[in-house]
Amino acid sequence: MGGNIREEKERWEKTTLNKALTKSKEREDVFRTTSQIEMKRLYTPLDTDDIDYCHDLGFPGEYPFTRGVQSTMYRGRFWTMRQYAGFATAEETNKRYKYLLDQGQTGLSVAFDLPTQIGYDSDHPLAEGEVGKVGVAIDTLKDMEVLFDGIPLDKVSTSMTINSTAGVLLAMYIAVAEKQGVKAEGLQGTIQNDILKEYAARGTYIFPPLPSMRIITDIFAYCKNHVPRWNTISISGYHIREAGSSAVQELAFTLADGIAYVEAAIKAGLDVDSFASRLSFFFNAHNNFFEEIAKFRAARKLWAKIMKERFKAKKESSSMLRFHTQTAGCTLTAQQPDNNVVRVAFQALAAVLGGTQSLHTNSRDEAFALPSEDSVRIALRTQQIIAHESGVADMVDPLGGAYALEDLTNEIEKKAMDYIEKIDSMGGAIKAIEEGYIQQEIGESAYQYQKEIEAKKRIIVGVNQFQVEEEPLRDILRISPEVETYQREKLAKVKRERDQAKLAEVLSALKKTALGTDNLVPSIVEAVRAYASLGEISDVLREVFGEYREN
Amino acid sequence: MSRKIRVLLAKPGLDGHDRGVKVIARALRDAGMEVIYTGIRQTPEQIANAAIQEGVDIIGLSCLSGAHTHLFSKVTQILKEKGAADIPVMGGGIIPSEDIPTLEKAGIRGIFQPGTSTEEILKYIQENVKLS
């Protein structure tokens, strides 16, 4: 009651706490988050007394957006439930999309196979064995027409995980919409289009950084005029985290990449307020519950400051960090896979408490293969249970003001800013990646994490403790090798039947644009309309831009 | 004093997930082995050639894209064609148990699924490589 908190705390430490500690030690000498932030035993108002509420937290829907990007958050509308899906052929994936939409999913998210992501057609020698494996195979506009058959593109928003070939897939999406009678102005969705994290963590790059940045800023400029509701990039920490980074590194490297994109766009002549509100982000929801929630809140606050102070953005929406979240694939275990349902539920809850705009929940069987229909349904149901049953969506930023969480949010912000300053001093994210700095930092964290598991300093339930003898998991999704043959035949047919003269014309026009400085996107749209394949378009660009090789 | 065990670690195909292979490379190096890591996006031909040229004692393949059956088998097939079938090949990644018999039939011996410790892989190499 009353009294001075500091004095009372000291008294408590000397008496009640001390007595308890003399009786039995705590489990660890020091408790740390993944980012090596020391978690205190107890947080009190003393830990938050340097917070200036209006300045640091403010109100939801207003700068610096610490408490959320909308004023009513999920009281207005739940986050978009968006399961990343795609496998085998456009025909099969179209069925899965319809199933997911029937089950109450509210947006689509396309997973492409690796050849599509790296600019090879299904009949390319390097595509052997990979066709339709990690996502759907798309060679030409024909496949894209099948993929979205019967799905109204004016009603559904679509996210596409596509980077070095993002321009091609966006062009195909625009062309399919046209065929459905939907204008590009009405399209809603996202392309990942984040090449920097491909060099640093995910690996689906094609071209060297400079031409890659040109393609990206061309897309920004094109969409601003033609597809104004499209999120032109999803600056991704997800894969950086999957590659082994800590929470702070995930945040810092993502925002450093974001800074590089904004700088490139400004350098290309765009006004910051003309494109900034279409930038979106993509984060990972990992295991450490409070660290993750704090990370999402710190992300909004930091980005808001960067946009306003560093880039002098004037529009409020330019400073607003909107993000998609996926639960952490790397935390799924092959051992006792049903336990993954529980892991995913906690991770998803952290994303919701952190104020995500859309969410993908992983399926329990993903340490073995792409998810089965049953597993995906449980994953989607997990989101629906959080939304409809838990009550957490009924308040805006319900954990705001919690001493521990606010302190963690500040710590993460500070540590991330240290990294960003370091990267700035190296000359920015592109330089830091070229020098291998970001990759080394991620690799170091990944190795430490694994060592902790092997030393049992970190317990993974079912993996290094609480193991059982178990039968191999059954009913996992298999991609038949016939998919590759089928896909090649389809491609051959399109190649036979298209207008060859038109094809030669659009490809040579594309090459001319690539050699010059005009925006590339209109030429790519023309090429896909003429059924030029993704591989053919990518080959033209490879010839002009060259290919990136990892050191 | 015996020489160090030489290991080639490689990522065949288009998969870019290299967290696992890099962790293993470092663990094997820390354990005193000589590790050559090829980097991502290697063709089976490149991997087989590198193994032969470098005179490695064992090859470790990593694939998380689901293309393991095709790609791993291709590596062992090429090794055989080049008269290097004596180089043992192990592999890991997102590999469902039901693929293990096919992989074993293709000559891939140690198959490591998610959750495997670097300790187990180290032990496997030590037990399966006979230094001449």
Contact B14 A367 (CB under 8 A): no
Task: Assess B16–A contact: CB distance below 8 Å, yes or no.
Answer: yes
| Residue range of the domain that includes A94 | 53-63+77-454
Give A-chain residues touching B39 at CB under 8 angstroms: 550
What is the distance between the alpha carbons of residues A72 and A458, in angstroms, rounded to a whole number? 38
Q: How far is B132 from chain A (nearest CA, A)?
A: 31
Give A-chain residues touching B17 at CB under 8 angstroms: 202-203, 242-243
> All domains of chain B, ordered by start, with CATH?
6-128 (3.40.50.280)
Q: How far is B19 from chain A (nearest CA, A)?
A: 5
Give A-chain residues touching B66 at CB under 8 angstroms: 133-134, 369-370, 479
Q: How far is A214 from chain B (nearest CA, A)?
A: 23
Quick one: CA torsion of A509, A514, A518, A519, rounded to 10 degrees? 90
pLDDT tens-digit series, residues A256-298: 999 999 999 999 999 999 999 999 999 999 999 999 999 999 9
Cβ neighbours for A402, distance < 8 A, ≥ 6 positions apart:
A43
Domain count along chain A: 1
Would A159 be classed as within a structural domain? yes
Beta bridge partners of A461: A465
Would A340 be classed as within a structural domain? yes
Helix (H), strand (E) at residue A100: helix A90-102
pLDDT tens-digit series, residues A169-227: 999 999 999 999 999 999 999 999 999 999 999 999 999 999 999 999 999 999 999 99
CA atoms within 13 A on the CB side of B70: 21
SS3 A235: strand
Cβ neighbours for B30, distance < 8 A, ≥ 6 positions apart:
none
Give B-chain residues touching A203 at CB under 8 angstroms: 15-18, 40-41
Q: Is the pLDDT confidence value at A247 over 50?
A: yes
Nearest to B96 among A117, A204, A476 (CB): A476
Task: Tell me the CATH number at A167.
Answer: 3.20.20.240
Would A529 be classed as within a structural domain? no
Give A-chain residues touching B18 at CB under 8 angstroms: 203, 243
Q: How far apart are the first and last CA of chain B?
A: 12
Would A201 be classed as within a structural domain? yes
What DSSP state is assigned to residue B33? -
Would A369 be classed as within a structural domain? yes
Task: Assess B113–A contact: CB distance below 8 Å, yes or no.
Answer: yes
What is the distance between the alpha carbons of residues A546 and A115, in angstroms, rounded to a whole number? 18
Residue in chain A lying closest to B118 (CA): A454
CB atoms within 10 A of CB A451: 16
Nearest to A118 among B14, B98, B113 (CB): B14
pLDDT tens-digit series, residues B45-87: 999 999 999 999 999 999 999 999 999 999 999 999 999 999 9
| Tokens, residue B126 | 């030590």
Would A4 be classed as within a structural domain? no
Q: Is the pLDDT confidence value at A6 over 60?
A: yes
Contact A128 B70 (CB under 8 A): yes
Would A252 be classed as within a structural domain? yes
What is the distance between the alpha carbons of residues B126 and B61, in angstroms, rounded to a whole number? 17
Give B-chain residues touching A479 at CB under 8 angstroms: 66
Contact A115 B14 (CB under 8 A): yes
Would A386 be classed as within a structural domain? yes
What DSSP state is assigned to residue B58? E
Q: Is the pLDDT confidence value at B130 over 90?
A: no
**Contacts A–B by Cβ distance under 8 A:** 100
What is the distance between the alpha carbons of residues A221 and A227, in angstroms, rounded to a whole number? 10
Please, which pLDDT band fits residue A1 given cuts at 50, 70 and 90? very low
Q: Which residue has the tokens 């997973």?
A: A111
pLDDT tens-digit series, residues A455-509: 999 999 999 999 999 988 888 888 998 999 999 999 999 999 999 999 999 999 9
Q: Which residue has the tokens 């470098």?
A: B54
At B1 the pLDDT is 54
Across B54-78, b (16+ Cβ under 10 Å) vs e yields eebbbbbbbbbbbbbbbbbbbbbeb
Contact B19 A446 (CB under 8 A): yes
What values do phi and psi take at B8, rounded to 5? -105, 120
Q: How far is B1 from chain A (nearest CA, A)?
A: 29
Task: Assess B77–A contact: CB distance below 8 Å, yes or no.
Answer: no
What is the distance between the alpha carbons of residues B60 and A308, in angstroms, rounded to a whole number? 49
pLDDT tens-digit series, residues A28-57: 999 999 999 999 999 999 999 999 999 999
Residues of A with a Cβ under 8 Å from any B Cβ are 114-115, 117-118, 120, 125-130, 133-134, 198, 202-204, 242-244, 330, 332-335, 367-370, 443, 446-447, 450, 453-454, 460, 463-464, 472-473, 476, 479, 481, 550
